[in-house]
Amino acid sequence: MPVNSTEPTPAAGTRVSAPPTGAESSSIRRAGFGVWVRDLIISLAISAFIIIFIYQPVKVEGTSMMPSLEDQERIFVNKFVYRLEPIERGDIVVFRYPRDPSKSYIKRVVAMAGDRIRIDGGQVYVNDEAVDEDYVPPAYTDARSYPETEVPAQSYFVLGDHRSMSNDSRDFGPVNQSFIYGKAVFGYWPMDKVGRVR
């Protein structure tokens, strides 16, 4: 004889289980914590890989790259890009200072291997053509000259954008490619400077 019950009947195919006991609940919490720790370790490993091999955060010290980069500005340097593409004129590169490789400098590439460069009263000429440097405002120019020279093989002539405040290839000569280890690509601090480095 059928019996009507006020208890709901589980739908077909639905499993019903009792709530976990105290021991089971503790085991579930431990398993959840283990997954969280695993995910954290994987995230840290990926972050370390990116920082070590691809992007490195650096702090600009000094005013030689103003107004493009300001003193104490924070930027990311891509340390992998030059494995995929060549260094080009206009790139802002980070390199070990030739006179003291324990220090790092950041400057702009204005001439490459085989180029003839000279500076007449502050005007840069590469292969006898005047270079239009819109990244150097009039207030940041100087009147220094530099005799014509040919950039050696696997080397680059670099200058700071703030010409009157920069120690660059006019002082220490062209930089060998082996000293260059990254390209400035993105500013992240201060907030008004967030964006691609140009």
CB within 8 A of 163, min separation 6: which ones? 122, 136, 140, 141, 142, 144
Q: How far apart are the first and last CA of the chain?
A: 86
What does the pLDDT read at residue 31?
A: 65
What does the pLDDT read at residue 25?
A: 57
Catalytic residue among 68, 107, 155, 183: 107
What does the pLDDT read at residue 45?
A: 72
31 lies in some domain: no
Number of domains in the chain: 1
Tell me the C-alpha distance between 166 and 86, whole Å: 25
Asked if omega into 138 is within 30° of 0 (cis), the reply is: no
186 lies in some domain: yes
18 lies in some domain: no
Reply yes or no on whether 107 is catalytic: yes
4 lies in some domain: no
29 lies in some domain: no
Asked if omega into 190 is within 30° of 0 (cis), the reply is: yes
Tokens read off for 134: 């819109």
Catalytic residue among 25, 27, 59, 64: 64
Residues in a beta bridge with 140: none
Decide: 182 and 94 in contact? Cβ < 8 Å: yes
Tell me the C-alpha distance between 39 and 31, whole Å: 12
14 lies in some domain: no
- One digit per residue, pLDDT tens: the chain, 198 residues? 333 444 444 444 445 455 555 555 566 666 677 778 887 888 777 766 655 567 889 999 999 999 999 999 999 999 999 999 999 999 999 999 999 999 999 999 999 999 999 999 999 999 999 999 999 999 999 999 999 999 999 999 999 999 999 999 999 999 999 999 999 999 999 999 899 998
Reply yes or no on whether 103 is catalytic: no
Range of the domain at 112: 56-196
163 lies in some domain: yes
Decide: 87 and 157 in contact? Cβ < 8 Å: no
CATH number for the domain that contains residue 84: 2.10.109.10
What does the pLDDT read at residue 4?
A: 42
What does the pLDDT read at residue 35?
A: 78
